[in-house]
Structure 1
Amino acid sequence: MKRTIAILIIALIFGIIMFTSIPSKEEEALPVSIFNKQESLLSKERVLNIAHRGASGHAPEHTARSYQLAKEMEADYLEIDLHVTKDKHLVAIHDKDLNRVANKKGKVSDYTLAELKMMDVGTWFYTQHPEKEPVSSQLMTLEEIIEMFGQEVNYYIEWKQANGLEVLLLDVLRETGILQNDREGGVIIQSFNDETLKSIAKLEPSVPLIQLYSFKKSAELTKREIKEIKKYAIGIGVNYQSLHHDFVEKILANHLLVHAYTVNNEKEMKELIQMGVTGIFTDFPDYLTKLKKE
């Protein structure tokens, strides 16, 4: 009798273990990234390597060569500044005018894409770096960059416009299919203009947004400001010189990311990583790749 009871108890325990170990349909449907934070590009557990205008310390900024090098250097993101041409194309260029990087003068918006394509945007760089072998360089459209890399890279876009033209950007992202990236955070959009970001959040709520700041002194945001940012953005981008440990800790405690720009010194990269930043913009993504592997 006792032996029978013992067998029944053992069978009952075994049944309970087997039942509780079988995952429900809901559990089976959960993506791996829910359990492995490293899978998400938006995890606080990561320090993102963001190639500032591509590997712009090694090649002319925003050119095919610069972006290709950034990919080879294992950057997590290609950072792309965008301006709108006279005929409403989106071209990768940081300044609103051509004076610094092109062999022409004037605003980007004063030229058509065809006219801009005839301009050289690399000579200035190779003049400053005669040790590097010159490569023919011209402006690229956002579509061309996406066509060049597709889903092989992640895109960190700074929208430089503040006049309601963000629909042009979203149309390109949708038409190229790049928003269907399987990786969480495959496309990020940043801007200094909070109204622009709020507009994008309404038009395409699936895209993670970063609110940019440039502090003249030590970085500081009030509780009210942080609360407002959280309504539309997943983090902030900050000039690294203004960052300090208490500020970074405060932002992270409020479940926002902190991306620091633009850092080209390994010592400063190490200090920022120790401070807790979750992303670093750099002209030299190879420096940060090497540092993260040490």
Structure 2
Amino acid sequence: MAVPYLGEKHESEGRPRVVAHRGASAMQPEHTLAAYTTAFDLGVDGIECDVRLTADHHLVCVHDRRADRTSNGKGVISTLELARLEELDWASWKKLDDGSASEQMDRDPDRGRILTLNRLLDSLTSQRQELLTLIETKHPTRYGGLVERQLVTALRAYGLTTGDLTQLPHVRVMSFSLLALVRMRGLAPQVPLVYLVEQSAPRLSWDGSLPVGVNIVGLDVKIVRRNPSIVKAHQRRGHEVYVWTVNQPEDVERCVELGVDVMISDRPRDVMAMLD
């Protein structure tokens, strides 16, 4: 299925865009290349990934601080070199609905391989579509600002630091860390930033205000359930509103009614079916 350009109108005028959280992570192991190629095939509007630095300063797509949950290894990602991480299996932990995990491993020996950001960017740019691409830098980390510096180096190599271009991914960098966003603004001022907000958010996010230089807010779906007026509070100030993680039908309906801009979901296929 062809992925729609973000510049085109959707069949349903003004509907929220649907972003695959860690790829199509309900269908495939999160943050694997299979999760992202599955999302592309579904026709999503965008994808989301988390990045961490390895001990030898490679950016890899892993959510957790440790390798334990999503691989057959153990240890803190930042203390392990890429070569060691590539020895681990990052897919077999996931039990697929159709029970075909072993068959998929036979067809695709790389399925369990750790995904580097560069490999993901290769796949994204080969789509030649304007996919919304949300990259979250994970903090705190022992490497501090090196994460953002390495991220900008990688994005620059693919021509993704000079604003949104046709037939290329439209990158947004996200973080719960305001300092990380400040660093990104200094390193790549044309890359839009997303301030991620949890329920324990400071007051500034509840009245629709955001830090200087940030025009997108990423809201925990729990906030939207509890205080739906926050969506319009931000949009009145000209901010886009992204909501995560939207998996339940009632949350999809709520986000549509409120007019959020982006829904980030583990289940993009189900969400798109509801919108259609």
Q: Same fold (TM over 0.5)?
A: yes
Amino acid of the residue matched to residue 119 of structure 2? E
| 2:45 maps to which of 45, 63, 76 | 76
Shift in Å, 1:46: 5.0
Asked whether 1:147 is paired with 2:122, we answer yes
**Aligned residue number for residue 178 of structure 1:** 160
**Aligned residue number for residue 257 of structure 2:** 274
**Aligned residue number for residue 3 of structure 2:** none
Q: Write out per-residue CA displacement over residues 179-216 of structure 1, whole angstroms, 9 at most, x where no aligned residue.
A: 35514980011000001101111111100100001105
Q: Percent identity?
A: 27
* TM-score, scaled to structure 2: 0.83
Q: Determine the C-alpha separation between the residues in 1 that align with 2:145 and 2:116.
A: 19
Q: Determine the C-alpha separation between the residues in 1 that align with 2:70 and 2:169.
A: 30
Asked whether 1:194 is paired with 2:178, we answer yes
Please list every run of 5 or more consecutive structure 2 residues that lacks an aligned counterpart in the other structure.
1-5, 106-110
Shift in Å, 1:63: 0.4
| 2:99 maps to which of 131, 138, 152 | 131
Amino acid of the residue matched to residue 160 of structure 1? K
Q: CA separation of 1:154/1:246 partners in 2, compared to 1, >3 Å: closer, same or farther?
A: closer
- State the SS of the aligned residue for 1:143: helix
Q: Determine the C-alpha separation between the residues in 2 that align with 1:98 and 1:169.
A: 21
**Aligned residue number for residue 85 of structure 1:** 54
Task: Choose 1 or 2 for highest CA Rg.
Answer: 1
Q: Determine the C-alpha separation between the residues in 2 that align with 1:199 and 1:105.
A: 31
Asked whether 1:122 is paired with 2:91, we answer yes
Q: Determine the C-alpha separation between the residues in 2 that align with 1:185 and 1:63.
A: 18
Give the aligned length: 251
Shift in Å, 1:114: 1.1
Q: Write out per-residue CA displacement over residues 255-281 of structure 1, whole angstroms, 9 at most, x where no aligned residue.
A: 111111111122320111102211111
**Aligned residue number for residue 29 of structure 1:** none
Amino acid of the residue matched to residue 189 of structure 1? V
Range with greater deviation from structure 2 (192-201 or 45-54): 45-54
- Contact 1:40–1:185 (CA<8 Å) still a contact in 2? no
Q: Write out per-residue CA displacement over residues 70-114 of structure 1, whole angstroms, 9 at most, x where no aligned residue.
A: 111111111010000010000000001101011111101111111
**Aligned residue number for residue 32 of structure 1:** none
* TM-score, scaled to structure 1: 0.78
- State the SS of the aligned residue for 1:249: helix
Range with greater deviation from structure 2 (136-145 or 58-67): 136-145
**Aligned residue number for residue 7 of structure 1:** none
Please list every run of 5 or more consecutive structure 1 residues that lacks an aligned counterpart in the other structure.
1-36
